[in-house]
Amino acid sequence: MPKRIIISGGGTGGHIYPAIAIAHALKEEDPSIEILFVGAEGKMEMEKVPRAGYAIIGLPIVGLRRDVSLGNVAFPYKLTRSLLKARTLLRQFRPDVAVGVGGFASGPLLMIASLMGIPTLIQEQNSYAGITNKLLARRARTICVAYPGMEAFFPPAKIKVTGNPVRRDIVQAGEKRAEALAHFGLDDRRKTLFVMGGSLGARTINESISAGLKKLQAAGYQVLWQTGTAYIETAQQAIETAKAGRIKAFAFIYEMDLAYAVADVVISRAGALSVSELCLAAKPAILVPFPAAAEDHQTKNAMSLVRQNAALLVSDAHAGQELVESALKLMEDPAKKAELRENIQALGRPEAAHDIAQEVLKLVP
């Protein structure tokens, strides 16, 4: 009888893509494995997971806002409905192991799974544990983490330092430069700055790039710019107004391996997925941590690289004045780029997804 694994979590690309990477690795370990995803209704996993070839079922769960909000009134009702639906799903699918990657949906699913005696594994991407995973840790059998020092949040005996799971095509990005240039319509004779704000975009980064379009164009560089859907029209208008034809804006870039392949320097938020991808793609990076991330975990992620001279940091508050200037300075400094590239590559864990998959399979009864 084939093994059955249920994977839950989502909300952002930082949760979804590691989950998909784990699923791919499980299939490579054992092609007969049956995998079902559980996400939150209306969140981006409901579109991204089927695109990757997996079935997904949504729970009506929502996040509990930290500020006073009318949305919190519905939280107990939606949590109860999610717990009941999770129990029904688990009874129907009968998984051997339940895996949680963080995000709204992983809480109800893994809580009910553990109460039903199903072995659970949680994967924490950040250097500061999320509240859902901290609550689930007591009942989890195994906790896979990406950073040292996570004993501050989890029982030490359960921790496995595996790194963050990243799609295998990111590891192979360096071999695809010619393909990437053709795909994005870029010029092989010019250096490329790749700007990304995460799966949902980043207002501060977008506004800083918009303000610096003329400088970037005048410097002779080309820019590959992922804006997020909310900013794409503004970005395209700004490019047209600045007559910055070498800046190419996209709402979302699915072919991240090609984006990394063509990049000489990357500007990015400091979510765990982005940091892990930068390590494996070995790209000089300027990180702009999202200041409103829970417990300021993006700054902690970024500082784990900065302390090892593996990336540069520009704060969100200073991005408007410093980000484009810092990018131009780094683009023009081959020695610094080489130093950052070498140091960030040493931090990569290319086998993280398979290491986590093996930990999952160890829990199969």
Q: Which residues belong to the annotated binding site for UDP-N-acetyl-alpha-D-glucosamine?
A: 12-14, 126, 167, 199, 253, 272-277, 298
Decide if 306 contacts 284 (C-beta within 8 A).
no
Nearest CA to 222 among 257, 194, 201? Answer: 194
d(CA 48, CA 134): 26
Nearest CA to 41 among 20, 63, 19? Answer: 63
Q: What angle do CA 132, 133, 134 make, to 5 degrees?
A: 90
d(CA 319, CA 203): 11
43: number of CA atoms within 13 Å, CB side? Answer: 26
Q: Is the dihedral of CA 183, 265, 308, 205 positive or negative?
A: negative
Residues making up the annotated binding site are 12-14, 126, 167, 199, 253, 272-277, 298
Please, which residues bridge with residue 144 across strands? 123, 160
d(CA 12, CA 87): 24
Tell me which DSSP letter residue 170 carries. H
DSSP calls for 230-241:
TTHHHHHHHHHH
Nearest CA to 283 among 303, 306, 262? Answer: 262
- What are the b/e assignments for 337-347, b being 16+ CB within 10 Å? beebbebbeeb
